[in-house]
Amino acid sequence: MSYCPRCGRYFEGEGVFCRDCNGGFPETTSVNNGRKRVKASTVALTVIFIAVIGFSASIVFDDEPLSGHAGSYAPEFTDEGVIVRGENAFFSFLDGYDDCMTMSFPESERSNMYSLRMTLDPDIAKRYTMFKWSLTEVMSETKIANLDPKAEPFVTWYDPLYGLYMFDVVCTDGKGASDIYFGVVDVSAYYDFFFDNDRYTFLVDYSYSDYAKDTASTDKDILSRGNVRWDDLSGFVTTEGAVADLESALFGSFSKLWGTNPGKTYAEFLLCFVQSCYGYYSDLGQYGTREYYARPAETIFNNLGDSEDTAFLCTSLFKAAGFDTAVAFYGNETFAAVALPYAEKDYDDDHCILCRKVDGKYYYACTTTADGYVPVGMVDYPWGISYDDYENMGSVGHGAYGFYRV
């Protein structure tokens, strides 16, 4: 067990180098776990505290096109870990213990997403008759509940989230004696997309606590997310936490080819990222209610959202990058909006320009749920209307149609 002498990042075992400092990876593909003998009546989980610092690293594992959404690609086992493109996720194991588990990624029985399955080594499992699994997010010490409850020598975690997690299984033999086996899994975000014919690939480590604090945890909270007024979007557009980690990683990748002066091209890059890496999913299917405004951390962790969710995320990235921003509402559609000296001047058979002048600046609407890249300012024809018509659209339950600066 070691700490990086340069940045303080914790790692285990030998033959590894710090991926926070120089973008490397542990030189192992195995699940390396520890085990210890315990009494059946006194089983206790000892949490390993590991300092995990948000990072990004440019990596390329193959030559195939990249980000897909749920169920689009089979998991890819590499020398460094496992890529699950449909979930924008990279799974790796911390080194330093004897092998006792393996991981696989069956397609979820609940959706078309992949689940994480941890399986105890068969030579170990055959010694026992009972198995009790638990899962803890290490940094926040949060118990994760959505595990398959079956008492088997394997456990399935449905819809895994980013963070650092400890799996432990208490195994009891026919005489009542118990052993505990455990392993630590790092789930990082893995992004892979094209912009202007160039490929961008990088990792980001997020803090699970950013997700936990932004998620509605009760039925009352969930219902309240459908009653947000458009003139009060506090909390739905943010530059902190997971958004800050993501924008920093995006700018790091962008600046390698485009330099450190962001400008309009960076706004296009951010929009392309959201369009490429986040799939559309209805609130009813995802949250069980017809209207739910998700905060950016929820969309980042879920990798899915409807037009409001992805618009809030995109607007947050624009704002974190230093742009003047707004959110535009029209009918059942929500758009991110960014202030620029100009955007696209042309239109095509399917799109036209939608912008509005607010306090002396032109804010251009951005479609965040497009199939394929749609530039800043261009929206589908049903939403492309004149400024005067836009101002006369009137009011609905959440407020007046229009652009709202944030």
SS (H, E, C) 319-370: HHCCCCEEEEEECCEEEEEEECCCCCCCCCCCEEECEEEECCEEEEEECCCC
Please provide the average confidence, as pLDDT, over all residues in the chain.
Answer: 77
Secondary structure of residue 199 in the 3-state scheme:
strand
Name the pairing type of β-strands 325-330 and 34-38.
unpaired
Q: pLDDT digits over 323-340, tens only?
A: 999 999 887 789 999 998
Tokens encoding 143: 């118990």
Secondary structure of residue 170 in the 3-state scheme:
strand
Work out the angle at residue 63's Cα, subtended by the Cα atoms of residues 60 and 69, and round it to the nearest 5 degrees.
Answer: 80
pLDDT at 244: 97
Residue type for 276, please? S
Block residue for tokens 């994480």: 116
Residue 227 backbone class (left: φ over 0; alpha: ψ -120 to 50; beta: rest): alpha
pLDDT at 180: 93
| More confident position, 283 or 188 | 188
Res 300 pLDDT > 90: yes
Domains of the chain: 2-189 (2.60.40.10), 206-405 (3.10.620)
- How far, in Å, CA of 124 to CA of 308, rounded? 49
pLDDT at 269: 97
In Å, how far from its chain's centre is CA 282?
17
pLDDT at 62: 40
| More confident position, 235 or 4 | 235
Q: pLDDT digits over 213-232, tens only?
A: 998 888 888 888 888 888 88
pLDDT at 226: 84
Least confident of 2-11, 31-40, 156-165, 393-402: 31-40
- How far, in Å, CA of 15 to CA of 383, rounded? 56
Work out the angle at residue 136's Cα, subtended by the Cα atoms of residues 133 and 139, and round it to the nearest 5 degrees.
Answer: 160
Mean pLDDT of 80-100: 79
Secondary structure of residue 398 in the 3-state scheme:
coil
329 contacts 306 by C-beta, under 8 angstroms = no
Among candidate residues 336, 310, 59, the one with its CA nearest the CA of residue 189:
59
Q: pLDDT digits over 99-141, tens only?
A: 788 889 887 655 556 889 999 999 999 999 999 999 999 888 8
Residue type for 268, please? E
Name the band, by pLDDT with cuts 50, 70 and 90, for residue 24. Answer: very low
Mean pLDDT of 180-205: 93
- Give start and end residues of each alpha helix (H) in 120-231: 122-125, 208-214, 219-224
Residue type for 102, please? T
- How far, in Å, CA of 303 to CA of 193, rounded? 14
- How far, in Å, CA of 378 to CA of 300, rounded? 24
- How far, in Å, CA of 406 to CA of 389, rounded? 23
pTM above 0.85, yes or no: no
- How far, in Å, CA of 153 to CA of 122, rounded? 8
304 contacts 69 by C-beta, under 8 angstroms = yes
Q: Collect all residues with Cβ–Cβ distance below 8 Å to 283 and sequence separation of at least 6.
A: 226, 289, 290, 291, 292, 306
pLDDT at 394: 56
Question: How many CA atoms are closer than 13 Å to the CA of 164, on its beta-carbon side?
Answer: 20
- How far, in Å, CA of 406 to CA of 404, rounded? 6
Among candidate residues 104, 105, 72, the one with its CA nearest the CA of residue 86:
72
pLDDT at 58: 35
Res 42 pLDDT > 90: no
320 contacts 267 by C-beta, under 8 angstroms = no
- Give start and end residues of each alpha helix (H) in 114-259: 122-125, 208-214, 219-224, 242-258
